[in-house]
Structure 1
Amino acid sequence: MAFPRNGLTSAAPADTRLKLKIARKWTSAEGIVAIDLTASDGAPLPAFTAGSHIDLFLPGGFTRQYSLRNDPRERHRYAIGVLREPGGRGGSAYVHDRLNVGDLIDTSRPRNAFELDETAPFSLLLAGGIGVTPILAMAYRLSSLGRDFEFHYCARSADRLAFRDEIEASAFAGKVRFHLDDGPEVQRLSLDRLLAYRPAGAHLYACGPSGFLDAVVSRAKPGWPADAVHREYFANAAPKAQSDQPFRITLASTGRSFDVASGRSIVEVLADNGIDIPVSCEQGICGTCVTRVVSGEPDHRDLVLTDRQRADHMTLCCSRALSAELILDL
């Protein structure tokens, strides 16, 4: 999956980036290209965990985040899938139309804001559209560990099912169910039936469009505890909470304070004062800028933190304050 970004500072300084080669590129489904990235010198790549993503630093200042879909045991490649977004700002179009096999591209090292609990006795994996990418990596990992799981993959039609051949040839093919909205293979997913019962200790993982994820979360609420439901959004389409009232931030380590005006983010204000906070999505969906709150009441506007994490953490890229001041662990 991909996260759009509007372009402040980079999440990965230039000296920590990887220079990778486009080793393979092909059309996996309607509107979706698959890309394999390898080290330009053929060396093993940094390890990653299921649910991880990488940043691609594209010409023109575009940075896009794409989930890794391959088996985390692999060290020779990072495999991603990219959906063409007609209404986007050009990042996906560049990947589709201008990246070619043999090209070199800068990327970040893998990061994970959608971690898999490998100890759970049962995992329920739900994917909508291009949201299959991190879910597929989770399936590979759970299969290699011998864990019990089910994998449900929803798409509009069969020609939009990315990586279908790969899934059907996998060791976990028997655990996968495809759910289609139209065509000769129509079989829609019933979330009410699927989520009516939670096996003991089970965890739920979902990735896809916001409407799909909202439906999953709402159907899961009656029987699934919040800390057992994990989701990753494409973009933060959540309505803005509360107001954009000005507030003050104070750094716990130095006591320095700064005013955050209406319409400005904490990250922007800190950058103006020489304090660089790593950011990536700038929408509260990747977790890069999560920071501990020492005191004060945040106005949470992210889609990455759990309720438990929100008790004393916040995303600095998009969240604001309900109190007059926030003291941050910086």
Structure 2
Amino acid sequence: MRTATPSRAMRLAAVASQAYRRVFAASRLAPLLSRPNPVHRTGYDLDVVVRRIAHEAEDVVSLTLAPTDGYPLPAWLPGAHLDVFLPSGRQRQYSLCGNPNDRSVYRIAVRRMADGDGGSREIHDGLSEGDLLRVRGPRNAFSLVGTADAYLFVAGGIGITPILPMVRACHERGAPWRLVYLGRSRTSMPFLAELERHDGAVDIRPDDEYGPPDLAAILSHAPRGAAVCLCGPPPLMAPAQRIMRSVNPSGSLHAERFSPPTVAGGQPFAIHLRRSDITVEVGAAESALAAIRRALPDVTYSCRQGFCGTCRVRVLDGEVEHRDRLLTDTQRRDSMLVCVSRAAAGPLVLDL
């Protein structure tokens, strides 16, 4: 039997992959099988084309992404996000903010962060309509609670992105809901026009008109037993749990942040990077990832919150205090997510 050439094998694999996607997309079970959750990947790495780039607010653009092969995109639920692989090699995560019922495109929105690490600037300055990108997902670490009697959504700035599909879902199912949308000014707040059709249920509160937000007052007005979904910058997120317990103990708080959490109860420790033969010191208030990046700035990472697995590293020696939401007990025997996990005692030796 003649052995297939590599190029022919690649063509056959591509045909098989497309056939699988055709069958999967047509299946009545597709929405269930592709339902994202905090630790489950759909298994898809997809090539997409940037169909449209739109200015949504000051320093905010949206990207409409379409599949290159024409097949329906994997199904997703409100709160899901995509891993986006940028031309530079950076991997970043962005919430899906379009319509879950439209599987012909995905939509994400990105705010330019002048003091960030370059991902948002690359999207704003380097991408054009027609460019190709690789994405992975969708995955969900911020699922909309489906059993609540009522919902209060609180969004700060670009935190509106995962909230938009949640609002749509509640509106379509007829569930009682209210949105409080916070921001510096109306010019900085994306998607205001899309929210106009929900007049009466949406409370727009820019700081330059209303002053700094009173989170305690906002949360106290949630109906008894309501699900409160909160997404925004660290100053908004940090006191939310404490305030919620005080002013609305019968409700439940569900939150997503766009920046790494503050290190709680950390102790300084050392990490030896075996392959690089470098030892770095990790401060009590910083992550292992931050310390490693001082020595290896190109080390791979993404969510910085312990649920995507991008920064997983093999542990060669030492005891780890695992703080992630992803690894199984078996995986934790010899690896760690350096964005959140730390040394339990003494130094660590990592395969870097």
TM over 0.5, shorter chain: yes
Q: CA deviation at 1:128?
A: 0.5
Structure 2: distance between partners of 1:290 and 1:226: 37
Partner of 2:188: 160
Q: Secondary structure at the match of 1:109?
A: strand
Within 5 Å, which residues of 2 pair with 1:203-222? 203-222=227-246
Identify if the C-alpha distance between structure 1 residues 285 and 144 changes in structure 2 by more than 3 Å, giving closer, same or farther.
farther
Structure 2: distance between partners of 1:116 and 1:12: 16
Partner of 1:251: none
Kindly report the root-mean-square deviation, in angstroms, between the aligned alpha carbons of the 2 structures.
Answer: 3.6
Q: CA deviation at 1:189?
A: 3.7
1:190 has 2:214 as partner = yes
Partner of 2:304: 283
Identify if the C-alpha distance between structure 1 residues 225 and 75 changes in structure 2 by more than 3 Å, giving closer, same or farther.
farther
Partner of 1:118: 146
Q: Secondary structure at the match of 1:135?
A: helix
Correspondent of 1:135 among 163, 172, 186: 163
Length, aligned pairs only: 275
Structure 2: distance between partners of 1:238 and 1:125: 23
1:179 has 2:208 as partner = no
Identify if the C-alpha distance between structure 1 residues 131 and 286 changes in structure 2 by more than 3 Å, giving closer, same or farther.
farther
Sequence identity percentage: 33
Higher fraction of helix: 2
Gaps of 5+ in 2: 1-38, 272-278, 290-299, 313-318, 327-331, 347-352
Structure 2: distance between partners of 1:227 and 1:52: 23
Q: CA deviation at 1:16?
A: 3.4
1:145 has 2:167 as partner = no
Within 5 Å, which residues of 2 pair with 1:1-330? 16-169=44-197, 172-182=198-208, 185-186=209-210, 189-196=213-220, 198-225=222-249, 228-239=252-263, 241-245=265-269, 263=282, 281=302, 283-284=304-305, 286-288=307-309, 298=321, 300=323, 316-317=337-338, 318-322=340-344
Stretches of 4+ aligned residues off by more than 6 angstroms: none
Partner of 1:328: none
The one-letter amino acid paired with 2:255 is R
Q: Secondary structure at the match of 2:47?
A: strand
Does structure 2 retain, via aligned residues, the 8 Å contact 1:68–1:78? yes
Q: CA deviation at 1:133?
A: 0.2
Q: CA deviation at 1:198?
A: 4.7
The one-letter amino acid paired with 1:179 is R
Structure 1: distance between partners of 2:104 and 2:248: 37
Q: CA deviation at 1:224?
A: 4.1
Q: Secondary structure at the match of 2:137?
A: coil
Q: Which has the larger radius of gyration?
A: 2
